[in-house]
Chains A and B, each alone.
Chain A
Amino acid sequence: MTDRGVLVLGGGVAGLAAALSLACMGFEVTVVERERALGGRAAGYACKATDRCLHCGVCLVSDLQDELASATVNLRTGAVLEELAGQAGDFRATVAGTVLKVGAVVVATGMDPAPATGWPDLGYGRREGVLTASELESRLRREGVVDARRVAFVQCVGSRNPAWGRGYCSEVCCPYALRLGLSLIAQQPGLEVTVFYNDLQTGGSDLAGVYEQAGRKLRLLQGVPARAEAGPDGIEVRYESVPDAVLRRESFDLLVLSTGIWPRADAAALARLLGINLDASGFYAARPGESWRSSRPGIYLAGCCQKPRGIAASVAHGRAAAAAVAAGRLEVTGV
């Protein structure tokens, strides 16, 4: 029955949350995931607990994976959507050569981290010890520790600058940098963590304790450095210290670029395939007041493909999209 079928594009946290909710509501759900494994980017991130949970939400990935084990969801990993025909309530989606009949599509294709190579002055790819936050995440997930004593985070790489076409705050980078910093210190006493920032985004009740701890345990410096070079004693960073407007130099062992959330490089191509619109920043455009609905009836949005979101917010948005799909379907069938 076409109408009970839903196609979810993307098996990251938002897609899985949407798929699982829909499955619980009695829909026939098919998840199409480009990669071989489910869980998306968040599945490679590390737990950021100190001696207590800092509410980073990474464990939600395994909660969803567990739920998946006992749910009825069709999984098509290593596959992509090739074609979409029809209309709301009666779509025909071609995936890996086979045609699926579905009533609705949930797009949960996620994001790309800002390409760190776009900031050559910060030395990414050219100096050892300069890495992106996602690289640090996966290193911590695998090894649990870093081989460094002085670690610095540079915030807003690829965010908050209309000149790059990214006139928005990526929302997740300040929280993850502070959490990573605190978690590193808790596991490796003696480590020093510095965070160079523009405006610390510490709003949100999940972060109340994090910010307070960060103020005590991390060095928070306002102002983002423009250059980092190989120096005699590690990576030398030049920055203007804000309260006294003095130019300073300082060396670090590890420079972490807190890269922001960008739309996926193939977002425009998929938007054409789906017949949906993009917004000014290149994310999938949502209807006003309904961030889970795309510009086209029957096609819904979940997670970071619509705007930057953290893990917990992406899961919530996936569920929101599921509720909207279910309500929409019932309207069509008049149940």
Chain B
Amino acid sequence: MRLLAFVCERSAARAVEEARKTGSWPDGLELVTVPCSGRVDVLHITGALTRGYAGVLVVGCFEEACEFVQGNLVARRRVDYLRQLLAQAGVQADRVRFEFASPAGAPRLVRAVREMTEAVQALGKGERA
């Protein structure tokens, strides 16, 4: 089962790096680094889902910590909107998630990723509900 995460290069990407150094980063998650989580388009996420990814995580900076003021919040709104659309289309919304992260908060991101992985595993391989 393939999982994908879009990670903001100013927060999540660094937390991932730190988690990798300490060996706590879970395997099996593919990463796409973006300059800001606000760069992630709904089309990128749906593209990933149709291509066979079972779940997509978008990770941005915590509220009020975005270098670009509100890119993270724009991204979160987009993900929320997409989750609604997916639910209407009969796809489990939980396959797509948004998480906040900080470069100094690796354990917290690892927890979030584990949670997401378990949730998606429980949903199965991406058959339509």
Binding site for B on A (CB under 8 A): 45-47, 49, 51-53, 55, 58-59, 61-63, 66, 140-145, 187
Are the C-beta atoms of A59 and B11 separated by less than 8 Å? yes
Q: A59-B102, A63-B10 are in contact. Are A49 and B62 (CB under 8 A)?
A: yes
Give the Cβ gap from B107 to chain A, nearest Cβ, in Å.
3
User: Which B residue sits closest to A143, measured CB to CB?
Assistant: B107
Q: Among the interface residues B22, B67, B100, B102, which one has the most CB atoms of the partner chain A within 10 A? A: B102
Task: Give B28 Cβ to nearest chain A Cβ, in Å.
Answer: 21
In the complex the two chains form, is B104's CB within 8 Å of A59's CB? Answer: yes
B22: chain A residues within 8 A (beta carbon): 142
Whether the pair B108, A59 counts as a contact (CB closer than 8 A) is no
Which of A53, A63, A142 touches B63 (beta carbons < 8 Å)? A53
| Chain B residues whose C-beta falls within 8 Å of the C-beta of A141 in the assembled complex | 104, 106-107
Chain A residues, Cβ within 8 Å of B104? 45-47, 58-59, 61-62, 141
The residue of chain A having its C-beta at the shortest distance from the C-beta of B64 within the complex is: A53
Cα distance, A304 to B67, chains bound together (Å): 25
Sample of 7 A–B contacts (CB below 8 Å): A47-B62, A52-B64, A59-B10, A59-B104, A63-B10, A141-B107, A144-B110
Q: What is the chain B residue whose CB lies nearest that of A58? A: B104
* B14 at interface, CB cutoff 8 A: yes
> Which residues from chain A contact B10 at a C-beta distance below 8 Å?
59, 62-63, 66
Given the complex, which residues of A lie within 8 Å of B14, measured CB to CB? 62, 66
> What's the Cα separation between A187 and B101 when bound, in Å?
13
Which among B10, B65, B111 has the highest number of chain A CB atoms within 10 Å? Answer: B65
Q: Which of A45, A49, A140, A143 contacts B65 (CB 8 A)?
A: A49
Chain B proximity of A8: nearest CB distance (Å): 23
Cα-based distance from A62 to B9 in the complex (angstroms):
11
In this assembly, does B113 line the interface, its C-beta being within 8 Å of a C-beta of chain A? Answer: no
A180 to chain B, nearest CB (A): 13
Known: A47-B102, A59-B11, A62-B14. A145 touches B63 (CB 8 A): no
